[in-house]
Chain A
Amino acid sequence: MTPHRAGGLLLLVLAFAAASWIGWWMVPAAAWLWGALRPPMRRPAATAAVAAGTAAAAWLAGNALMGGGSFSLLNGRLSELMPVSAPVLLTVAVLVPVLLAWSAAALGSALRPGTPDLPQSNS
């Protein structure tokens, strides 16, 4: 990965982190926008998915770091509270933005104005 591309990806991760801070529904909105903006990258939908997943993982890691023992304490309680264990919940928490970002970016890319033909939309 070139430094230029890595920098772009980092910016995208930050954008998804900011979107996530506003609300979960902002992740697909941001991804749609990303897909529609003709990003100078190959496979924009996959890139969006990676960036959104990274942002989600970063938020969770931040919660764990800032919460210290509270994070594991909370996970223990959630495991009893929810029908699935905490590791599964954490995985879902990362997978959800991945799927939202991929699907929204793919659509944004495919349906952007001036798209000549569907096969040209890289994903």
Chain B
Amino acid sequence: MATFLPAPESSMLRARLRVLLAVAVLVSLSLALSRRFGPLPILGPFLDPANGVWALARVADPAGTARARMPGLGAEVRIVYDDRGVPHIFAANELDAWRALGYAVARDRLFQLELTWRAGAGRLSELLGSRTLEADRVARRLGLGWSADRAMARADTGAPAMRAFRAYAEGINHRIATMPAAALPLEYRLLGKRPARWEAEYSAYLLARMGYTLAYWDPARHRLRAAALVGEEAADALFPLNSPIQEPIQPNGQQTARFDFRPLPPPALPRPEAETLVRAMHQASIAFGIEDGAGDGDGVGSNNWVVGPRRSASGRALLAGDPHLELTLPSIWYEAHVVVPDSLDVAGVTLPGSPGITIGWNRDVAWSFTNTGGDVLDLYLETVDDPARPTRYRLDGSWKPLEARREVYAGPDGRLLAQDTVYFTHRGPLMPGERGWHSLRWTLHDIRPDRGDFLQLNAARSVGDWLERWKQFDAPAQNGVVADRRGTIAVRSTGLHPVRPGDGRGDVVRAGDSSGSDWTGFLPLEYYPFSLNPPQGFLASANQQPVDPRVNARYFGAQWPSPWRAMRINALLRQDSAVTPDAMRRYQTDAGNARADYFVPAFLSAAAAMEPADDTLRMAARLLADWDRRYTRENERAVLFEAAMDALAEAVWDELIAPGDSSGPRGGAAPSAAVLASLVHDSTSRWWDDQRTPERETRDVLLARSLRMGFLATVRVHGAPDAGGWKWERIRTATINHLLRIPSLSARQIPVQGGNGTLSPSSGNGTHGASWRMVVELGDTLRASAIYPGGQSGNPASRRYDDRIPKWAAGELDSVLFPATPDAMPPERVTSILILRPAR
């Protein structure tokens, strides 16, 4: 290098430059590695070769035998992991078992645990930032955490459930405290956070959150919206209290579904006062985050059924459980088996965050749930003293003070994001709307987590015992099916069912200024929909109206999902007098569809009546007639039927499109397909007239036109009929999103069998579906098989993160191990053992 300096000076300069370079490298790198840049994680700890992200591979699938000490344990606990990643927990007493379960769940699902309690408490923003602020606000306005805190504060701290919550919390916290640095879940690394300590009351937040998922919708809004557009009488018929097709959970003695079709009153003049109410309610609903409605239920829904010994091939009782929920990675469920000598021997799935098996079996009993979907929520229009800053509300002619609760929302760095004041009347939280303040009365505010209803089920010894333990369950109301090894079967829709004043209906908004509008109590147990060992020899529930109103006319809810799934499963069970566990498994993903069985002949008949038919309609009718009405993955006709059904709903319910509304009447705001089915019986109803066209349409004209339009739309989107684009697996897929919606940690575009109204329904975006499938044969030896879409581990480096998805998508089940002792585990299926000993 040419230089103008003498050699020593040049050397000195190079050295100085080297030092400057070293300073620059060290300082800039240190800063870059310890700060967050945009969506990137903090790179120093993330890229650390020893305990950074790659260390997750080291701890992904533990093998061999490990030992640890845990404070609080009364005796040694042995956790044997099988080759499906399921922990079999062998403990000497129940509290030790729940401690170990908390530890095991935290080992596999630590981030999910934190996300779950934060969602219930409305404290997601402290972890995820302002993007979850609105979700937090809704949770707090609804009083999810408030009701859980209140319930826990009132609880008897010595109650067995409270002791179980504390033991479970100890297990989780022990895992957090002793977790090796390598095991810090990926999500915490991405967020640059550490796990928060778990408190016992968080289990109540989880239950509140489940209530929000399953029991948070109000049928009043749809009916009011319709009344605003087509009048009260028509609205009552379009959004009826009772399903026009009766195939109830509690058998009504019929051998087939009953069609209670009546002519729909024609659309009448709009009702302006209803429009006012709708607008007011809309504002309150937005503030409360109320779901637009349970929807038609054709695209989502759970199933369960039991078959008595007379109708099973083995002469033993069989039970199938198939709860449908949002599909996530990791799954909402965690599979576990808990054994305490002379006390517990229970397996199935637990909700991470709560001790006990929620759905599953023990040596004597198996059980599963579907959501009842009853109307357990009402809005009241309140009169307040100051609409801007209310302090009191009017009740029975006097002013009552409002309870005010200050809600403060912080971000991940502790900085204040927002603050609200949430007011409460004696009914519940209060929120402003366009025309006034609405208060919310909801059964979820009456929950009693300290009763430990799910925990109690775990030790049931017979169907009778199970029903007794389950009778006080509050919310969200569930249709529980149960079978025991003696061959008894039963179903009951258990949960708080409010009793309202007057006509008892809940699909209205009541005036809040009178305590006479308040609920007068809850239905007593003897009125719950129920059946024990019915003559038909089986029982099934699929979210349909639980009881035939001719049998029990009490108000349980309104706008029930169309009972297509119930019709299908009942038809399958009626025609099979020797049901096997494998048949139960096949039924869970059965491709048949009662909805298609009903509407396809109507379309074909209408097309045949159109003379002369054009070539397009003839082609559409021929293709539809070819269809076997099954939603298999290879099927190339289901897409045409679905497009025709969409076009039909759009054309028939045109009167329900509000002026200026471009979204149309479809979705939650449209009447159910069961109501549409009743309309098919009335060929000249005024509803068949599409008022957007000059001519007066009849049923056949509109059905044929919808089929033609459906065909054209299908060709436009998916190409020619037999070019491959119409294959069902290309159109309807399952999407299992990661909890934070991170694409690379999600499983998307999974081809599955099933469609709207099938037993394994798939919604439009595929994000909901069978969250757990199980088939249990009870007897002297219990046989169970099960699966859920995901895997036991929450660690994306583990092969058990998503290893069950292929079998789940194919409708297969895993054979489940149910050993009574550690020695009864087949050694070749043991992958690791964890021995927890009491701390010295």
* A interface list, Cβ under 8 A from B: 17, 20-21, 23-25, 28, 45, 55-57, 59-60, 62-64, 66-71, 73-74, 77-83, 89-90, 92-94, 96-97, 99-100, 102-104, 106-107, 110-111, 117-119, 121, 123
9 tightest Cβ-Cβ pairs between the two chains A and B = A67-B57, A80-B744, A59-B49, A70-B60, A74-B797, A103-B26, A106-B22, A70-B57, A103-B25
> Taking A56-B49, A80-B743, A110-B15 as contacts, is the C-beta distance between A63 and B58 under 8 angstroms?
yes
Main secondary structure of the interface of A (DSSP, over half): helix
Within 8 Å CB of B193, what residues of A?
none
Taking the complex as formed, is B343 at the interface, i.e. its CB lies under 8 A from any CB of chain A?
no
Interface pair B49/A60, CB less than 8 Å apart = yes
Residue of A67, A69, A73, A90 near B58 (CB, 8 A) is A67
How far, in whole Å, are A64 and B56 apart by their CA atoms in the complex?
A: 10
Please name the residue on chain A nearest to B61 by beta carbon: A70
B15 adjacent to A121 (CB under 8 Å): yes
Bound-complex Cα distance A83 to B38 (A)? 12
**Is the pair B49, A57 in contact by a Cβ cutoff of 8 Å?**
yes
> Is B473 engaged at the interface, CB distance under 8 Å to the other chain?
no
Q: List 26 A-B contacts (CB under 8 A).
A: A20-B49, A24-B45, A45-B22, A55-B49, A56-B49, A59-B50, A67-B54, A68-B57, A70-B799, A71-B797, A73-B57, A73-B799, A74-B57, A77-B797, A79-B744, A80-B744, A93-B47, A93-B48, A96-B29, A100-B25, A103-B22, A106-B19, A107-B19, A110-B18, A118-B12, A118-B16
Closest Cβ of chain A to B477, distance in Å, is: 40
How far does the alpha carbon of A66 sit from the alpha carbon of B11 in the complex, in Å? 48
B23 within 8 A of A: yes
Which residue of B8, B57, B58, B745 is within 8 Å of A119 (Cβ)? B8
Q: Are A63 and B19 in contact (CB under 8 A)?
A: no
Smallest Cβ-Cβ distance to B745: which chain A residue: A77
Q: Which residues of A contact B30 (CB under 8 A)?
A: 25, 28, 100
Q: Which of B17-64 contact A (CB under 8 A)?
A: 18-19, 21-23, 25-26, 29-30, 33-34, 40, 43-45, 47-58, 60-61
> CA of A50 to CA of B798 in the docked complex: distance in angstroms?
32
User: How many A-B contacts if CB must be within 8 Å?
Assistant: 143
What are the residues of chain B within 8 A of A93 when measuring CB–CB?
47-49, 52, 54
Chain A residues lying within 8 Å of B355, measured Cβ to Cβ, are: none
Asked if A74 contacts B26 (CB within 8 A), the reply is: no
- Inter-chain contacts of A99 with B (CB < 8 A): 25, 29
Nearest CB of A to B327, in Å: 18
The answer for the CA separation of A56 and B12 in the assembled complex, in Å, is 33
Instruction: Let me know if A28 and B26 touch, CB within 8 A.
Output: yes
Q: CB distance B49 to A119 under 8 Å?
A: no
CB distance from A103 to the nearest CB of B (A): 4
- One digit per residue, 1 when the CB lies within 8 angstroms of any chain A CB and 0 when it does not, for chain B 48-92 equals 111111111110110000000000000000000000000000000
Chain B 508-522: CB-based contact to A (< 8 A → 1; otherwise 0):
000000000000000
Taking the complex as formed, is B742 at the interface, i.e. its CB lies under 8 A from any CB of chain A?
Answer: yes
The answer to whether the Cβ of B796 comes within 8 Å of any Cβ in the partner chain is yes
Evaluate contact between A63 and B54: CB separation under 8 angstroms. Answer: yes
| Contact call B57/A66, Cβ cutoff below 8 A | yes
Using A21-B50, A82-B40, A118-B16 as known contacts, list a sample of 16 further A-B pairs with CB atoms less than 8 Å apart, ordered by residue number in A: A60-B54, A70-B798, A73-B796, A74-B56, A74-B797, A78-B53, A81-B744, A93-B47, A96-B33, A100-B26, A103-B26, A103-B29, A107-B22, A110-B18, A118-B15, A119-B11
The complex places the Cα of A93 from the Cα of B43 at a distance, in Å, of 9
Whole-angstrom distance between the alpha carbons of A55 and B45 in the complex?
16
Chain B residue contacts of A92, Cβ below 8 A: 47
Closest beta carbon of chain A to B149's beta carbon, Å = 37
Query: Chain B 319-336, CB within 8 Å of chain A: the 1/0 string?
Result: 000000000000000000
Once the chains are docked, how many angstroms separate the CA of A121 from the CA of B14?
A: 11
Q: Which of A90, A97, A106, A117 contacts B18 (CB 8 A)?
A: A106
A63 / chain B contacts, CB cutoff of 8 Å: 49, 54-55, 57-58
The answer to whether B48 touches A67 (Cβ under 8 A) is no
- The listed residue with most A CB atoms (<10 A of its CB), out of B14, B16, B25, is B25
Q: Is the CB of B61 within 8 A of A117?
A: no
Residue of A nearest to B743 (CB): A80
Q: In the complex, what's the smallest C-beta–C-beta distance from A105 to chain B, in angstroms?
A: 8
Q: Do A77 and B26 contact each other (CB < 8 Å), given the known contacts A23-B45, A63-B57, A70-B60? A: no
Contact partners of A97 in chain B: CB under 8 A: 49
Contact: A20 with B48, CB < 8 Å? yes
Do the beta carbons of B11 and A74 come within 8 Å of each other?
A: no
Query: By the criterion CB–CB under 8 Å, are A24 and B12 in contact?
Result: no
Whether B33 contacts A24 by the Cβ 8 Å rule is yes
Residues of B778-811 contacting chain A, CB below 8 A: 796-799
Separation of A96 and B234 alpha carbons in the complex (Å): 71
Query: Which of B16, B23, B49, B796 has its CB near the most chain A CB atoms (within 10 A)?
Result: B49
- With beta carbons under 8 angstroms apart, the residue of A23, A67, A90 that contacts B60 is A67
Contacts of A100 in B (CB 8 A): 25-26, 29-30
Cβ–Cβ < 8 Å partners of A45 in chain B: 22
- Whether A24 and B47, one on each chain, are in contact in the complex, defined by CB atoms closer than 8 angstroms, is yes
- How far, in angstroms, from A45 to B14 measured CA to CA in the complex? 15
Q: Is the CB of B15 within 8 A of A24?
A: no
Residues of A within 8 A of B19 (CB): 106-107, 110-111, 118, 121
Contact B50 A20, beta carbon cutoff 8 Å: yes
Contacts of A119 in B (CB 8 A): 8, 11-12, 14-15
Question: Contact at B58–A62, with CB atoms within 8 Å?
Answer: yes
Closest to B8 in A: A119
